[in-house]
Amino acid sequence: MQIEIEKRFPLEFFTVDAVTLARRLLGALLVRRSAEGITAGMIVETEAYRGPDDRAAHSCSGRRTSRTEVMFGPGGRAYVYLIYGMYLLFNVVAAKEGQPEAVLIRALEPVLGLELMAGRRGLELTTDQNPPGDGERGPERLIRSLCNGPGRLTRALDITRQHYGIDLRGDELFLVPYKEFPEAAVATTPRINVDYAGEWKHMPWRFVVRDSPFLSTRRHL
DNA sequence: CCAATGATCTTC
DNA sequence: AAGATCATTGGA
């Protein structure tokens, strides 16, 4: 079966609050078209950030800076930022202009261009020396670790600061309808690593495909 | 468990 | 202009 990547989501798909969008994005395909080739993964883990109230959000208390500017724009654009001096994190902007909300993409199930993703991560798919686990015949373990973390997936897809503000209904970095999960297949948990956010750290705004082996962590499940 | 590493934000 | 912080990761 050929994978269809010509479709796009309508703008209205994105102009909802970040919690709604975080749930909706599970099963969407994130596609990166570059000179090297096409890479893509299905979204299996997300987190919602709702400014200006949410103390865990960069847009907390209406903080409008050159970094957070895109969060204040209309939904459907990319918010990319550097964390810990070495990792870029990718977010999908949610809601309408003036409402600074976004969804952090934390993990993907690799779908297209696995060889290329591995190369960008500094790994070799073909010469993987890791022993297969129970019931495995090939490099499943390595494939699971390709995009299972917010800093890893941006490297695997070569998402850079140049993608800051890009329209995710375009042709270089974009989202495509791919798979839909019923409520029973989805779990919510508190967000990862936002202990500084006071009462907001407890909000169940992380969404995961419950049985996916491609999650960044199984914490809280 | 802890260090890496640099842009951003706060405070002086 | 200096200092703290940080939506992470990989290696003891």
Q: What domain count does chain A have? A: 1
Looking at every residue in chain A, the average pLDDT score rounds to 96
Closest nucleotide relative to residue A195's CA, C1' based = C7
Residue A3 placed within a domain: no
Residue A124, sorted as left (phi over 0), alpha (psi -120 to 50) or beta, turns out to be beta
Residue A54 placed within a domain: yes
pLDDT band (50, 70, 90) for residue A103? very high
Closest nucleotide relative to residue A164's CA, C1' based = B7
Q: What is the CATH number of the domain that holds A95?
A: 3.10.300.10
CA angle A133, A136, A140 (to 5 degrees): 80
Per-residue confidence (pLDDT) for residue A51, from 0 to 100: 86
Residue A85 predicted with pLDDT over 90 = yes
Per-residue confidence (pLDDT) for residue A38, from 0 to 100: 98
Closest nucleotide relative to residue A106's CA, C1' based = C7
User: Residue A1 CA to C6 C1' — how many Å?
Assistant: 43
pLDDT band (50, 70, 90) for residue A129? confident
Residue A20 placed within a domain: yes
Strand C proximal residues, A:20-59, Cβ < 7 Å: 47, 49, 56-59
Residue A176 predicted with pLDDT over 90 = yes
Residue A217 placed within a domain: no
**A48 touches A19 (CB < 8 A):** yes
Q: Which residues touch strand B (CB under 7 A)?
A: A 58, 63, 65-68, 81-86
Percent of chain A surpassing pLDDT 90: 91
Domain ranges, residue A178: 11-209
Q: List bases, strand B, within 7 Å of protein CB.
A: 4-10
User: Residue A6 CA to C2 C1' — how many Å?
Assistant: 51
Residue A138 predicted with pLDDT over 90 = no
Q: Cβ-count burial of A63 within 10 angstroms (0-12 exposed, 13-18 middle, 19+ buried)? A: middle
Q: Is the CB of A149 under 7 A from strand C?
A: yes
Per-residue confidence (pLDDT) for residue A91, from 0 to 100: 98
Closest nucleotide relative to residue A57's CA, C1' based = C7
Residue A2 placed within a domain: no
Residue A128 predicted with pLDDT over 90 = no
User: Residue A63 CA to C2 C1' — how many Å?
Assistant: 22
Residue A3 predicted with pLDDT over 90 = yes
| Mean pLDDT within A89-102 | 98
Q: Is the CB of A100 under 7 A from strand C?
A: no
Residue A63 predicted with pLDDT over 90 = no
User: Residue A22 CA to B9 C1' — how many Å?
Assistant: 27
Per-residue confidence (pLDDT) for residue A130, from 0 to 100: 83
